[in-house]
Structure 1
Amino acid sequence: MNKLGKIAAAAGVVAALLLSGCSAVSPTGPGGGDAVSTEGDRSVGITFSDLSNPVWAELVQEAESYGADEGLSVTYVDARNDAAAQVTQIENFIQQGVSTIIICAVDANALVNVTKKAQDAGIKVVGYTQVLENYDAQYLVDAYNTGYANGEAAATWINDNFDADETVQWALMDLPRFPEIIDRANGIKEAIAELAPNAELVATAPALTAEDGVANAENFLQANPDLKVIATIGGGGAVGGNEGVKSAGITDFDSFGLFGIDATENEIQNIINGDPQKTSISLGGGKAHGRALVDITVDLLAGEDVEKDQYMPIEVIDSSNAQDYYDEIYGG
């Protein structure tokens, strides 16, 4: 099975898990009355904007397994980029009487009333990546500086491989429907413009999944055969982009650079293998984020003084440290 086949298979597993997760979240109990959680104050509901993102799929599965180790009963659901559906999911969690709701918002503005309702019911609200109005704690990306670190890595590679007077075409995979991702993309663009002024942005397209990344890379190169660099705002686009560059006929990987964010397992493997992907920005990874959200939840439920706004680390992973990073994060 090729790499994209493995990715698709993994997505199928996640989809099956999601179906079972969704079936566990029912707005009514026996006889049609309000449901009452049987897990007391150790039950946690997680709703994510789109679990086709491989980092987030990894996160919720880790939160479920690590949460069990910490005495939590974790249920997760996928809003599939539907803000109204996410409101309903949160309403369902409130009816169940969960102790905590963890939210990666489709649209934070759409959640103002329902998150207040949750807090009024004594439920802890934990935000992830998207800034909420009503919350007890949030685990956030320093979006601009994350993007800037990615753009800086791309600019360094450009300066190391091309003359200063040589125009270097590059393309960006962004995702402009999220404010945080817009900031991330702006960081990438501004770093490259500042540090590699001979680089010319010739194409942009949104990417969340590996399939998006494949299509974008192939389209970028078909329209711009002299393209030398692709930067992405996330791991899905990076993994797919890496495969798309190869399927588009690029064979000299030393003369083409792809730069990602998230440091997913597939990204790190690509860097180790000497593929088109040269770097990725680690924010801790999906597994680490799942554990961080569980740790925040455990502290909140214990009544500890929890810092409301917490930020993910930023680390550049390249050929010099990719194997060590892989061994530490994914090796066991």
Structure 2
Amino acid sequence: MKKITAIAATGALLLVLAACSSGGSSAAPADTEFSVGVTFSDLSNPVWAELVQEAQSYGAEEGVEVNYVDAKSDAATQVTQIENFIQQDVDAIIICAVDSESLKAATQKAQDAGIKIVGYTQVLDNYDAQYLVDAYETGYANGEAAAEWINENYGDEDVVEWALMDLPTFPEIIDRANGIKDAVEEIAPNAELVATNSALTAEEGVTNAENFLQANPDLKMIATIGGGGAQGGNEGVKASGITDFDSFGLFGIDATQIEIENIIKGDPQKSSISLGGGKAHGRTLIDITSDLLNGEEVEKDQFMPITVIDESNAQDYFDEMFGG
């Protein structure tokens, strides 16, 4: 397995947002050229919530009117949302799928109507372009950071217990979790996975961390597949009574602003994997969509950057991305 190393940080990351409603639309600028519908699987994910907000504001600058809706993890709702966008005669639809299989007919109908389809994170069957995570390698980068921390702090112990917050709803997230597990197993062979549970939101992360530690008081590390679980997990570890933060490691993916702040403060979270962040993704998706609509040549499958953020670069990263 190849070693994942940190690459130059790109994009901008999470700002603390008010909770998104089930949908919203940008005010159409006077020179609007295109209308774009955006349907997301679940906007309780803080990274995705920021993405749609940025897509709206950046789209308005670029002459693109953006209307977003939240499928709230319901596949049938998302199909209806796509059909509604078709009826509205939008120029393009950006989709973060609840269940890609269930969208085959709807996305084909949209393409038959001349509507461009842009996928995000989840692989679609019918699409014009996609912006994807290299899921396994992202997970491996996270697991590698966690395993190296175990070796540095508990390398002499026979068994080091750890837990995983996964999200087996999506095939790509299963790949991400598998990458984490493979890296930990390969690099820290004394690590033993003793607990797993799914986490998308910070609330779920808090609950999981508290439950993990109550059931496994010797637990030394938690890895998560996303920023929501990491943000909540950091608070759950502290709420469980752990005060020696050097003795416990939590490792996340998404590099939200809160995650980076926690790393800088010396909290239980020790690193996170940046994939560019919600704000940068919102801009990238609008750029991809605009290029498609303007008839420009667009690479069909595009992938997010993988950047490891830890105590060695967290402050510089924070200053660059959040203005210090």
The TM-score, its normalising length taken from structure 2, stands at 0.92
Q: CA deviation at 1:74?
A: 0.5
Task: State the partner residue of 2:78.
Answer: 86
Alignment-mate amino acid for residue 280 of structure 1: S
Structure 1 CA distance for aligned equivalents of residues 135 and 195 of structure 2: 22
The structure whose residues are more often helix, as a share, is 1
Q: Which residue of 2 aligns with 1:314?
A: 306
Equivalent residue in structure 1 for 2:265, among 268, 273, 286: 273
- Asked whether the equivalents of residues 41 and 99 of structure 1 are also in contact (C-alpha less than 8 Å), the reply is no
* 1:286 partner letter: G
Equivalent position SS for 1:267:
helix
- The amino acid that maps onto 1:193 is E
Pick one of 277, 283, 291 that aligns with 1:285. 277
Residues 214-293 of structure 1 aligned to structure 2 (within 5 Å): 214-293=206-285
Cα displacement (A) at 1:163:
2.7
Q: How far, CA to CA, are the matches of 1:110 and 1:240 in structure 2?
A: 31
Q: 2:101 aligns with which of 100, 109, 129?
A: 109
Distance 1:264 1:251 in 2: 23
The residue number in structure 2 matching 1:32 is none
Find the aligned partners of 1:263 and 1:164 in 2 and give their Cα distance: 30
Moved more, 155-164 or 216-225: 155-164
Q: Which runs of 5+ in 1 are unaligned?
A: 1-9, 25-37
Gapped regions of structure 2 (runs ≥ 5): 1-15
State the shift of 1:166 in Å. 3.1
The one-letter amino acid of 2:20's match is: A
Paired with 1:180 and 1:305, the residues of 2 have a C-alpha distance of 27
In the aligned structure 1, how far is the partner of 2:104 from the partner of 2:266? 46
Q: Equivalents in 2 of 1:258, 1:318: separation in Å?
A: 11
Report runs of 4+ in structure 1 exceeding 6 Å deviation: none
2:137 — aligned with what?
145
Distance 1:44 1:97, change over 3 A: same
State the identity as a percent: 75
User: Does residue 1:298 correspond to 2:303, yes or no?
Assistant: no
| Inter-partner Cα distance in structure 1 for 2:33 and 2:110 | 14
Tell me by how many angstroms 1:39 deviates: 8.9
Residue 98 in structure 1 maps to residue 103 in structure 2: no
**Residue 307 (structure 1) shift:** 0.4
8 A Cα contact 1:124 1:135, kept in partner? yes
Query: In structure 2, what residue type is equivalent to 1:135?
Result: Y
Letter in 2 for 1:303: G
Instruction: Describe the superposition over 1:60-79 as per-residue Cα deviations: whole angstroms up to 9, x where unpaired.
Output: 10111111111110111000
Q: SS in structure 1 opposite 2:316? A: helix
Counterpart position of 1:14? 19
- C-alpha offsets along residues 208-238 of structure 1, whole Å, 9 cap, x if unaligned? 0000000000000000001000000000000
1:47 counterpart residue number = 39
1:174 and 2:179 correspond = no
Distance 2:171 2:323 in 1: 34
Aligned counterparts of 1:294 and 1:113: Cα–Cα separation in 2: 24
- Which of the pair has the greater relative contact order for Cα pairs under 8 Å at 6+ separation? 2
CA deviation profile, 1:68-123 (whole Å, cap 9, x unmatched): 11111011100000000000000111111111100000000000011011111111
Find the residue that maps to 2:222 and give its secondary structure: strand
CA distance in 1, matches of 2:50, 2:323: 15
**Partner residue of 1:196 out of 163, 188, 197:** 188
SS at match of 2:20: helix
Distance 2:190 2:25 in 1: 49
TM-score by length of 1: 0.90
Residue 157 of structure 1 corresponds to: 149
Aligned match of 2:322: 330
